[in-house]
Structure 1
Amino acid sequence: MQEKPGPQFPHGGYPYPPPQPSWFLPIPRGARYDHLARNPATRPWQAIVGTIIVAVAFVLINVVVVLAFSIVTTLFGLPQPFLPNGVPKGTPTGLAMTLLGLALVLPLVFGTAALVQRRPPGTLSSVAGRLRWTWLLRCAALGLLAMVLGQLAQYAVLSSAGLDTELFGWAGWDVFLPLLVVIVLLVPFQAAAEEYMFRGWFIQAVGAHVRNPVWSILIGAVLFASVHGYSWAGLVDVFAFGAIMGWLSVRTGGLEAAIALHVLNNVIAFSMSAAAGQLQDALDQAKTPVPWQALAGTVVQLGVYAFGVMYLAKKRSISTISQ
């Protein structure tokens, strides 16, 4: 009896087209957060070119957003969203322009990691390749406690020094509510974008070629402080925040702790300024006085938060290396 031939497949013997090679290269197993960009295609030029792309895009996106808001407000006969000296106004449009110019950098950072370094954008988030939302929410709860304790410490030190300790004010619902909508909608993306740029991209771009994360953390904190216009005490506060958040990102294997505190800090700071009718002063950082005694609150807040995050990370067995 003659044997019948088997089915003929058009793809070299496979019933389906053979799997195509992925653009994304394998992520090293057992790697720390700052080493997630290390893959078989890692070259020094990638970190340099990628950082230049992110930096240039940061400037260009802000320019485009400012021009877009200026054109739209002119066409509709609305007040310009910035003052003659270029400082954003403390209005819903001025605040939205400021926050949107930063938030739109976020997809560009993801795209740079994917196209230049050929790795999944999720590796910017954590060693799990994604944001660990449950862990982020736990960090947010801890961050709220740390902020309250920091504010109490700052109040006590400023009071003992005879300095202004007024924390609250009220400008009315008609002023506060429109600003609150903008804050709630855009601040999470603005704060996250800064974390992905200064703690995510930069630490991993340097970490692809450097074993010790200290230098990438410190340099990233300096760059983070450089885009702020506060007095020296305010810049110390921002630098300390950046350094501690970078350290926590490496030690906990992701950006969740940094994003949680950054979002909380900005939402509460902007909301309090908006409620008091002082958002204009908050946006004009060069005119925002930060007494050195206020650094006591920074020490307490960051100290409590760093200790608490490390304690919870150990208790919850948060993964710090890639699987």
Structure 2
Amino acid sequence: MAASGRSWVDAFANEATPGGVRYDQILTGAADQQKLRSVVGILTGVLLFFFGASLVSQLLGGLGWLLLSPGGDFADWLRALSRFDNPWGMLSGHLALATLIPISFGVVLFVHHRRPRWLGSVRPWFRWRYLLLSMLLALVLFNLVLFVQHLGASFPTLQPQADYWVFLVVILLTSPLQAAAEEFFFRGYLLQAFQTLVPRTPWFGVVCSALLFALFHGTQNLPLFLDRFAFGLLAGALVVRTGGLEAAIGAHVVNNLMAFSYAGLYSTIAEVKATQTIGWIDLVWDLAGFGLFTVLAILLGRRLRLDVTTPARP
């Protein structure tokens, strides 16, 4: 195999990516064949996530029980982990969500026989300059919106929760991985797979992937559901308009870093993790922030002259 210059990935990735197509059209090919593969891939990906994430979470929970010797009942320990009552809970929870990355790659490779790097962008993989600039844009814009939102109101008292600095290390190390994993699965694989089912409707994949993204977050009131659904729609629009996951990942990473790190300073991370309701005013502010980021990120992509379609094939 080494002599022929082929890897084991080449043995499975035996179908070429079509040239001159948008990001959401990357999995297109023989219509009937790709539709069947997409149905199989979507079901496989969802089932693998439920089983894989649960397994990783349980294994890490057991490992933490052995290493940290917290005492008490093991079932109580696992419940505390699921609530993010301690840093190990956040670590295990985020690493469990990170299984979405190998699941996305595996489904693309073994079900669709395409190279997983095309989940990154149309070039393929990440355009690193755009990713970093998107994160910087999100950091400035989201903090500005947060400041304006609370303008005129008294800011809460600074009271870091117990083990905050340990939490902060876990946040910085694992929140980007968790956010990127969700983007790879929802705005990456699922968006592309759903789009093959109704290829004549340009935004079918965006809407379906955003809907699943919102539903996957569990119990929530209507404004919170709409908030997450809207984020999925805007992130999906970014992916299609810019030709890659970079801006969506940048926004998601910064949003999660801010949410968890600020929560640990002013309340508790467990409180944010348990959020099931928000108000309509909160929804409006979130839409304003994400909407403005979407517009500016698209303009930034144009400024950088990003390719938005795959290279034309000879």
In the other structure, the counterpart of 1:188 is 176
> Is there any run of 5+ residues in structure 2 with no aligned partner, and where?
none
In the alignment, structure 1 residue 63 sits paired with structure 2 residue 54: yes
In the other structure, the counterpart of 2:215 is 226
TM-superposed CA distance for 1:176, in Å, is 1.1
Task: Quote the Cα distance in structure 1 between the aligned partners of 2:63 and 2:11.
Answer: 42
Contact 2:122 2:244 in 1 (8 A): yes
Of 74, 85, 104 in structure 2, the residue corresponding to residue 90 of structure 1 is 85
Contact 1:217 1:246 in 2 (8 A): yes
SS of 2:16's equivalent in the other structure is coil
Of 22, 27, 30 in structure 1, the residue corresponding to residue 17 of structure 2 is 27
In the other structure, the counterpart of 1:112 is 107
TM-superposed CA distance for 1:39, in Å, is 3.5
> Is there any run of 5+ residues in structure 1 with no aligned partner, and where?
1-15, 160-164
In the alignment, structure 1 residue 45 sits paired with structure 2 residue 45: no
Contact 1:27 1:37 in 2 (8 A): yes
Residue by residue over 1:42-99, the C-alpha shift from the partner in whole angstroms, topping out at 9 and shown as x without a partner, is 4321101111111011111222123213322443422554437x84232101111211
Task: Quote the Cα distance in structure 2 between the aligned partners of 1:153 and 1:242.
Answer: 24
Q: Could you tell me the percent identity over the aligned residues?
A: 29
Aligned-residue Cα RMSD (Å) equals 2.4
Task: Quote the Cα distance in structure 2 between the aligned partners of 1:167 and 1:319.
Answer: 44
Contact 1:198 1:224 in 2 (8 A): yes
Contact 1:149 1:300 in 2 (8 A): no
Task: Quote the Cα distance in structure 1 between the aligned partners of 2:11 and 2:274.
Answer: 47
Residue by residue over 1:92-145, the C-alpha shift from the partner in whole angstroms, topping out at 9 and shown as x without a partner, is 011112111101221111111011101110111110111111111111111112
TM-superposed CA distance for 1:275, in Å, is 2.2
Higher helix share: 2
Letter of the structure 1 residue corresponding to residue 111 of structure 2: V
Superposed, 1:128-207 pairs within 5 Å as: 128-156=123-151, 159=153, 166=155, 169-171=158-160, 175-207=163-195
Superposed, 1:8-19 pairs within 5 Å as: none
Contact 1:26 1:119 in 2 (8 A): yes
Task: Quote the Cα distance in structure 2 between the aligned partners of 1:40 and 1:18.
Answer: 28
Task: Quote the Cα distance in structure 2 between the aligned partners of 1:253 and 1:204.
Answer: 12
TM-superposed CA distance for 1:263, in Å, is 0.4
Superposed, 1:153-302 pairs within 5 Å as: 153-156=148-151, 159=153, 166=155, 169-171=158-160, 175-209=163-197, 210-228=199-217, 229-286=219-276, 289-302=277-290
TM-score for the superposition, normalised by structure 1 = 0.85
TM-score for the superposition, normalised by structure 2 = 0.87
Of 300, 308, 311 in structure 2, the residue corresponding to residue 320 of structure 1 is 308
Which segments of structure 1 move beyond 3 Å, counting only runs of 4 or more? Answer: 16-23, 39-42, 73-76, 79-82, 165-168
Q: Which piece of structure 1 moves more, 296-305 or 18-27?
A: 18-27
Contact 2:104 2:184 in 1 (8 A): yes
The number of residue pairs the alignment matches comes to 298
Asked which structure has the greater CA Rg, the reply is 1
Task: Quote the Cα distance in structure 2 between the aligned partners of 1:297 and 1:82.
Answer: 35
TM-superposed CA distance for 1:250, in Å, is 0.4
TM-superposed CA distance for 1:285, in Å, is 2.7
Letter of the structure 1 residue corresponding to residue 143 of structure 2: V
